A = this chain, B = another copy of it.
């Protein structure tokens, strides 16, 4: 998503050792992204950009392997997807070192704490520690958001060279998530500039209504942003000033504790 997505991989387009069979396989798994309901074999093939025969064979094989399952109304991703995500989290050095820090932070602030990772123009939630009385967990681990409209994303953009941040903004899908999402590039740049000054980013109801979120970036040894730590509170309990004063030092300290421990994004 974040990079090339040529219509037809055409085997070796660009790199001679890129296998089209692998790309086709993964494109079938990716075909579910954003789909509201299970897919038939034909729909799956179409969504993956394959003809019916190829879709049929790949889907059957993936089903036999547990990466696809039949539901009553079509095919859905299979449980094996969870195992692979578990492997990712387990082998990720940053997630590993972040876990105790995040728990500590969560204990201090008593609000929801998230760790997100930068991936191209987007961020992905990698760890979520719920707050005590959270009833909506519409957002889950693995959820992807454009970086411009999430606090964590803006904190990370602020740690990039201005030109690079601008490039990401321009390449992003800037549809608003809530009525209060900032979608205007100069305005976003202003907020990024503010984040650069403060050392953290703050957003009110830009990705979910009723929510105030504060985040700071985690940097690798080259001073490049690789992740962000978020704390989310409810507007029914927090005013902006109080949230800033109480939360920001803790989040920045946690982010600083994790920075430079990580080699490469």
Contact = CB atoms under 8 A, between A and B. Distances in A.
Interface of A: 2-3, 15, 17-19, 21-23, 25-26, 29-30, 32-33, 35, 37-38, 56-58, 60-62, 64-67, 70-72, 76-93, 99, 103, 107, 117, 119, 124-126, 129-130, 132-137, 140-144, 263-264
8 contacts: A22-B62, A25-B25, A25-B26, A33-B87, A77-B92, A82-B124, A85-B142, A107-B135
Q: 6 shortest A-B CB distances, which residue pairs?
A: A86-B142, A85-B85, A21-B21, A72-B263, A82-B142, A77-B88
Complex copy number for this chain: 2
A17 B85 contact: no
Nearest to A36: B91
A19 B17 contact: no
Given A26-B67, A77-B92, A79-B119, 15 more contacts: A15-B64, A17-B60, A18-B61, A23-B61, A23-B65, A30-B84, A71-B93, A77-B87, A83-B124, A84-B85, A85-B141, A86-B143, A86-B144, A103-B135, A141-B141
A88 B37 CA distance: 11
Given A25-B26, A264-B70, A79 B89 contact: no
B130 A129 contact: yes
A141 B60 contact: no
Nearest to A34: B87
A130 B133 CA distance: 11
A101 to B, nearest CB: 12
A137 to B, nearest CB: 7
B21 A22 contact: yes
A85 B87 contact: no
B26 A79 contact: no
B79 A117 contact: yes
- Which residue of A61, A67, A89 has the most chain B CB atoms within 10 A of its CB atom? A61
A73 to B, nearest CB: 9
A48 to B, nearest CB: 12
Given A25-B25, A72-B264, A82 B126 contact: yes
B64 A18 contact: yes
Contacts of A125: 82
A23 B62 CA distance: 8
